[in-house]
Amino acid sequence: MADDFEFADKVPPSFDRVGNVIKDSGSHGFNPGLIVLLVVGGLLLTFLIGNYVLYTYAQKTLPPRKKKPVSKKKMKKERLKQGVSAPGE
């Protein structure tokens, strides 16, 4: 009857691997995928913050843009659309 359980003192292989993973988890260091994600995220964040800073600086220091002059032909068309006759007609 004692010989019926010859595998009683052995651990199944799946549980054995889990124990090794738990033991070895601290010795591998950082995950390379996590490092790449952090570097790319940091660069993207730096780019966006830099753009915002330059935008606010430009808004404060640069003069407002001048509007294009409207041609006489376009002014005449607009007046006719509004129902006002152009001068000289």
CB 79 within 8 A of CB 85: yes
Which pLDDT value is given to residue 79? Answer: 81
Which pLDDT value is given to residue 19? Answer: 61
Which pLDDT value is given to residue 69? Answer: 83
Half-sphere exposure of 4 (CA within 13 A, CB side): 2
What's 4's DSSP letter? G
Phi, psi at 16, each rounded to 5° = -65, -40
pLDDT under 50 in the chain at which residues?
Answer: none
Residue positions counted in the chain:
89
Structure-token pair, residue 49: 């913050």
Which pLDDT value is given to residue 38? Answer: 96
Which pLDDT value is given to residue 65? Answer: 81
Domain positions in the chain are: 2-82
Which pLDDT value is given to residue 82? Answer: 82
Quote the CA–CA distance of 41 and 33 in Å, as a whole number: 12
